[in-house]
Structure 1
Amino acid sequence: MTDVLLGFLTEYWLSLLSVICLLVISAFFSGSETALTAASRSRMHTLENNGEERAGMVTRLIERRDRLIGTLLIGNNLVNILASSLTTSLLIGLFGDSGVAIATVAMTVLLVIFSEVLPKSWAIASPDRFALAVAPWVRPFVAVVGPVSSLVNAIVRRILHLFGINLSSDLPMLTAHEELRGAVNLLHREGSVIKADRDRLGGVLDLGELEVSDVMIHRTGMRAINADDPPQTCVREILESPFTRLPLWRGSADNIIGVVHSKDLLRALAEPNVEPETLDIVKIAQKPWFVPDSTNLKDQLNAFLRRKLHLAIVVDEYGQVQGLVTLEDILEEIVGDIADEHDIDIQGVRQEADGSIVVDGSVPIRDLNRALDWSLPDEEATTVAGLVIHESKSIPEERQAFTFYGKRFTVMKRVKNRITKLRIRAAEDEGQVG
Structure 2
Amino acid sequence: MEHVSTTTLITILIVMIIVSAYFSASETGMMTLNRYRLRHLAKQGNRAARRVEKLLKRPDRLISLVLIGNNLVNILASALATIVGIRLYGNAGVALATGILTFIVLVFAEVLPKTFAALYPERVAFPSSIMLLPLQKIMMPLVWLLNGITNILLRMFGIRSNVRPSDAVSKEELRTIVNESQSQISRRNQDMLISVLDLEKVNVDDIMVPRNEIVGIDINDDWKSILRQLTHSPHGRIVLYRDSLDDIIGMLRVREAYRLMIEKKEFNKENLIRAADEIYYIPESTHLSVQLLKFQRNKEKVGIVVDEYGDIKGLISVEDILEEIVGDFTTSMSPSLAEEVLPQSDGSVLVDGTANIRELNKAFNWNLPSDGPRTINGLLLEELEDIPLPDTRVTIGHYNIDILDVQDNMIRQVKVTTALAPHQ
TM-score computed with the length of structure 1 as normaliser: 0.76
Q: Which moved more, 1:77-86 or 1:229-238?
A: 77-86
Cα distance in 2, alignment partners of residues 157 and 250 from structure 1: 74
1:400 — aligned with what?
A: 393
**Residue 357 of structure 2 contacts residue 376 of structure 2 at CA under 8 Å; is this kept in 1?**
no
- Aligned counterpart for 2:225 among listed residues 212, 233, 237: 233
**Residue 395 of structure 1 contacts residue 417 of structure 1 at CA under 8 Å; is this kept in 2?**
no
2:194 — aligned with what?
A: 202
Structure 1 position 169, deviation (Å): 3.0
1:289 — aligned with what?
A: 280
SS in 2 for 1:121: helix
Cα distance in 1, alignment partners of residues 406 and 61 from structure 2: 63
Structure 1 position 288, deviation (Å): 1.1
Structure 1 position 308, deviation (Å): 3.1
Q: Which moved more, 1:377-386 or 1:317-326?
A: 377-386
**Residue 361 of structure 2 contacts residue 368 of structure 2 at CA under 8 Å; is this kept in 1?**
no
Does residue 331 in structure 1 map to residue 322 in structure 2?
Answer: yes
**Residue 211 of structure 1 contacts residue 293 of structure 1 at CA under 8 Å; is this kept in 2?**
yes
1:81-115, Cα deviation, whole Å (9 max, x unpaired): 55345435653665566556544543443233222
1:274 — aligned with what?
A: 266
Task: Return the letter of the residue paired with 1:121.
Answer: T
**Residue 401 of structure 2 contacts residue 417 of structure 2 at CA under 8 Å; is this kept in 1?**
yes
- Aligned counterpart for 1:152 among listed residues 150, 153, 156: 150
2:344 — aligned with what?
A: 352
- Aligned counterpart for 2:291 among listed residues 286, 295, 300: 300
**Residue 338 of structure 1 contacts residue 371 of structure 1 at CA under 8 Å; is this kept in 2?**
no
Does residue 57 in structure 1 map to residue 57 in structure 2?
Answer: no
Does residue 136 in structure 1 map to residue 127 in structure 2?
Answer: no
Question: Relative to structure 1, is the Cα distance of residues 51 and 169 closer, same or farther in structure 2, using a 3 angstrom cutoff?
Answer: closer
Cα distance in 2, alignment partners of residues 141 and 249 from structure 1: 78
Question: Relative to structure 1, is the Cα distance of residues 387 and 229 closer, same or farther in structure 2, using a 3 angstrom cutoff?
Answer: closer
Alignment of 1:221-260 (within 5 A): 221-250=213-242, 252-260=244-252
SS in 2 for 1:187: coil
Question: Relative to structure 1, is the Cα distance of residues 258 and 40 closer, same or farther in structure 2, using a 3 angstrom cutoff?
Answer: same
1:334-365, Cα deviation, whole Å (9 max, x unpaired): 211399xxxx9644222334442223355344
**Residue 304 of structure 1 contacts residue 310 of structure 1 at CA under 8 Å; is this kept in 2?**
yes
**Residue 291 of structure 1 contacts residue 312 of structure 1 at CA under 8 Å; is this kept in 2?**
yes
Task: Return the letter of the residue paired with 2:150.
Answer: V
1:43 — aligned with what?
A: 37
Question: Relative to structure 1, is the Cα distance of residues 80 and 353 closer, same or farther in structure 2, using a 3 angstrom cutoff?
Answer: same
Does residue 187 in structure 1 map to residue 181 in structure 2?
Answer: yes
1:4 — aligned with what?
A: none
1:106-127, Cα deviation, whole Å (9 max, x unpaired): 3443233222332233323433
1:11-64, Cα deviation, whole Å (9 max, x unpaired): 644543343233223322232233223333343334333332222222333344
1:174 — aligned with what?
A: 169
Cα distance in 1, alignment partners of residues 406 and 143 from structure 2: 69
Cα distance in 1, alignment partners of residues 60 and 350 from structure 2: 53
1:112 — aligned with what?
A: 106
Structure 1 position 75, deviation (Å): 4.2
SS in 2 for 1:193: coil
**Residue 338 of structure 1 contacts residue 346 of structure 1 at CA under 8 Å; is this kept in 2?**
no
2:333 — aligned with what?
A: none
Does residue 126 in structure 1 map to residue 117 in structure 2?
Answer: no
Cα distance in 1, alignment partners of residues 408 and 55 from structure 2: 64
Cα distance in 2, alignment partners of residues 382 and 57 from structure 1: 56
Cα distance in 1, alignment partners of residues 412 and 385 from structure 2: 12
SS in 2 for 1:83: helix
**CA RMSD between the two structures:** 4.1
- Aligned counterpart for 1:24 among listed residues 6, 18, 24: 18
Question: Relative to structure 1, is the Cα distance of residues 284 and 187 closer, same or farther in structure 2, using a 3 angstrom cutoff?
Answer: same
SS in 1 for 2:180: helix
Structure 1 position 69, deviation (Å): 4.5
Question: Relative to structure 1, is the Cα distance of residues 293 and 181 closer, same or farther in structure 2, using a 3 angstrom cutoff?
Answer: same
Task: Return the letter of the residue paired with 1:130.
Answer: V
Task: Return the letter of the residue paired with 2:280.
Answer: W
1:161-220, Cα deviation, whole Å (9 max, x unpaired): 69xxx9953445832x444432321122xx443321211222233334433233222324
**Residue 361 of structure 1 contacts residue 383 of structure 1 at CA under 8 Å; is this kept in 2?**
no
Cα distance in 1, alignment partners of residues 368 and 62 from structure 2: 40
TM-score computed with the length of structure 2 as normaliser: 0.78
Structure 1 position 287, deviation (Å): 0.9
Cα distance in 2, alignment partners of residues 98 and 73 from structure 1: 31
Cα distance in 1, alignment partners of residues 178 and 301 from structure 2: 30
**Residue 346 of structure 1 contacts residue 371 of structure 1 at CA under 8 Å; is this kept in 2?**
no
Question: Relative to structure 1, is the Cα distance of residues 192 and 47 closer, same or farther in structure 2, using a 3 angstrom cutoff?
Answer: closer
